[in-house]
Structure 1
Amino acid sequence: MALVIVGTFVVALCLCAGDAQAQAQLQVGFYAQSCPQAEVIVRDEVGRAVSANVGLAAGLVRLHFHDCFVQGCDASVLLDSTANSTAEKDAIPNKSLRGFEVIDAAKTRLEGACAGTVSCADILAFAARDSVVLTGGSPYAVPAGRRDGNVSAASEAQANLPPFTASAAQLTEAFAKKGLSQEDMVTLSGAHTIGLSHCSSFSGRLQGYNASTGTGQDPSMSAATASALAAQCGRSPDAAVPMDAGSPDAFDTGYFHAVLANQGVLASDQTLTSDNVTAALVVENAYNTYLFVTRFGEAMVRMGGIKGLTGGDGQIRTNCRVLN
């Protein structure tokens, strides 16, 4: 919080209070009576999908994050655009999101088992947790009881999602606005230990980095890493590379070790070593696996409580892509 400007800090406090109220209304085992198989069904569908394509695990975690950071965890990221409105999923930062079909499959089964009961927002939260576990992370209990939102606007996604060029200070501010700490920010960045990044997201670090000369590589990236990435990206303009080259499909601490070795793929990854506090958190997570996985589960629960709709607010969508 100390790094956030005063005006934003006041806003963050207000959001924290609202988020805390929403979080208090969420409960572990929320569907124990109304739909006892809810989490089992989601886990089964996520398992099928990740077994066929392990990359979907990272996609589902990212989908939950991109939902929560825009209008709170209300499944607004799942809504399709209409003739009169461009939805979040069609905003530029969300063009590469994937895993929608996994959520659709889970929702279809849940509607058959207990119609009108399980929200799409809760499915996203369960699916993210299951994706972490299926790739080797530790399980954590997910409080549920979220309701689905009625609004989805691309402009909101553009305004709320931190860019891949963000500095440590900018990331800290963006997370503080959502009621999340600097420790939460560094910990949740650890989700990049699985999944891929498109070359277009970091190509500026490989060449043309010097604004005045239009040449050079980002000095915060190791020369060997820059050379390897340039070779991989040179094969195709649409290529995607692992965020954690050492163990791209395993939820482990490899991402933090890569950042410490100046091998962070995105500028927003490597920036974590530019600040003394965030750099210390990177070291802690890199060398204490238990600490990282524990922190990660706790941070995901806090993120999952951002400005959620509960009680009689919103709706329980029958189809996650459209309003009832």
Structure 2
Amino acid sequence: MAAYKHLAFSSFIILMLFPLLLQFQFGKSELQLNYYSESCPKAEEIIKQEVAKLYYEHGNTAVSWLRNLFHDCFVQGCDASLLLESVNGIESEKASGRSFGMRNFKYVNTIKKALENECPSAVSCADVVALSARDGIVMLGGPHIEMKTGRRDSNESYAKIVEEFIPNHNDSMSSVLSRFQSVGIDVEGTVALLGAHSVGRVHCVNLVHRLYPTVDPTLDPDYAEYLKGRCPTPIPDPTAVQYSRNDRETPMILDNNYYKNLLKNKGLLMVDQELASDPATLPFVQKMASDNDYFNEQFSRAALLLSEYNPLTGDQGEVRKDCRYVNTN
């Protein structure tokens, strides 16, 4: 009987340890809270401090961190492939038309340098992307989101397939929903994440097709006249600073004004306005327009799902020393 109990206990221990053994076997580990508690205990606080410092010097950086998360994670997962420069045979994802208007990449390395000074080669650029977005959301008045860490950095770019993953602002709502679903985000979460359009701005290049040669009938007429004032020609210079804010009332606050504007036919992009006309998304637009807490709750849920999509972990990829380049050794 004693031998039987010993055998049963041994079998139980093996079953309990089997998932962990598999992780070691394949060099794979999961994301976890406070991943850097031993290797770089101050990492998350350093990122938070740098994000705040940059926000007070360049307020629009907070918007950039949020957009970085979307563009990085949507293309093959959260692995900082977005940040790679075009060098040594690598074609940067930043050169894609889908990345038009993205900026402040140089300040990602400002954050990374602060981390390298504290803990060399410890904190990945992929985690910098995720945590700077988390802290940027707070700077924009949005909710605090507990994000796990432990992502690793890709040693390749996916520039050739960016447009297969990042939705275009002219895509149909069914296409947009399908692309979000492919990364595990449902309709409700999609409506919430598009609420990120509450902050930042849209270049006239992406607006004029709704204004010229005739005004899109789904646009509020008075709002269309305002937009024409911001974008006075049908062929704007893509290098010029010609843009309109997504939300004129609270342009740098992540809130539900975005949805209120949609219900007044004041969406900037086609994809924005379609949210308020598609029967699959309209109920969520209406609910978020009337309840900012509900918007924050759903935005947090969806952003967390996105931040954990298909990361490299364990011994996959690398931890870049400079977020712009793969390591040379």
The aligned counterpart of 1:319 is 322
**1:48-67 maps to which residues of 2 (within 5 A)?**
48-67=53-72
In the alignment, which of 274, 279, 288 is matched to residue 277 of structure 2? 274
Amino acid of the structure 1 residue aligned with 2:274: T
- Which SS does the other structure have where 1:234 is aligned? coil
Deviation of 1:85 (Å): 3.2
In the alignment, which of 290, 294, 313 is matched to residue 297 of structure 2? 294
The aligned counterpart of 2:173 is 168
1:95 aligned to 2:100? yes
1:47 aligned to 2:56? no
The aligned counterpart of 1:284 is 287
Amino acid of the structure 2 residue aligned with 1:225: Y
Deviation of 1:24 (Å): 8.4
1:223 aligned to 2:221? yes
Q: Deviating runs (4+, > 6 A) in structure 1?
A: none
Counterpart-to-counterpart distance in 2, 1:164 and 1:304: 22
Q: Deviations over 1:54-100 (max 9, x none)?
A: 22211110011100111110000000012533210111111321121
Mapped contact 1:85–1:153 kept (Cα < 8 A): no
The aligned counterpart of 1:155 is 160
Q: Deviations over 1:132-188 (max 9, x none)?
A: 101111111011111001111322212211001122111101111112111111100
Q: Unaligned regions of 5+ residues in structure 1, if any?
A: 1-22, 209-215
Q: Deviations over 1:210-266 (max 9, x none)?
A: xxxxxx211111111111001111287430111111110111111111111110001
Mapped contact 2:246–2:268 kept (Cα < 8 A): yes
Mapped contact 2:259–2:286 kept (Cα < 8 A): yes
In the alignment, which of 35, 38, 41 is matched to residue 40 of structure 2? 35
In the alignment, which of 225, 244, 247 is matched to residue 250 of structure 2? 247
Give the number of the structure whose alpha-carbon radius of gyration is greater: 2
Deviation of 1:110 (Å): 0.7
Counterpart-to-counterpart distance in 2, 1:54 and 1:229: 23
- Which SS does the other structure have where 2:231 is aligned? helix
The aligned counterpart of 2:210 is 205
Mapped contact 2:125–2:153 kept (Cα < 8 A): yes
Identical residues among aligned pairs (%): 35
Deviation of 1:47 (Å): 0.9
Amino acid of the structure 1 residue aligned with 2:312: L
The aligned counterpart of 2:186 is 181
**1:67-78 maps to which residues of 2 (within 5 A)?**
67-78=72-83
Mapped contact 1:168–1:274 kept (Cα < 8 A): no
The aligned counterpart of 1:14 is none
Counterpart-to-counterpart distance in 2, 1:285 and 1:183: 10
Mapped contact 1:47–1:134 kept (Cα < 8 A): yes
Mapped contact 2:29–2:314 kept (Cα < 8 A): no
In the alignment, which of 131, 140, 143 is matched to residue 138 of structure 1? 143
The aligned counterpart of 1:306 is 309
- Which SS does the other structure have where 2:151 is aligned? coil
Counterpart-to-counterpart distance in 1, 2:105 and 2:46: 16
Counterpart-to-counterpart distance in 2, 1:193 and 1:292: 12
- Which SS does the other structure have where 2:66 is aligned? helix
- Which SS does the other structure have where 1:315 is aligned? coil
Q: Unaligned regions of 5+ residues in structure 2, if any?
A: 1-27
Q: Deviations over 1:20-53 (max 9, x none)?
A: xxx9811121112221111111111111111122
Amino acid of the structure 1 residue aligned with 2:199: I
Mapped contact 1:26–1:145 kept (Cα < 8 A): yes
Amino acid of the structure 1 residue aligned with 2:291: N
Mapped contact 2:29–2:313 kept (Cα < 8 A): no
Mapped contact 1:107–1:319 kept (Cα < 8 A): yes
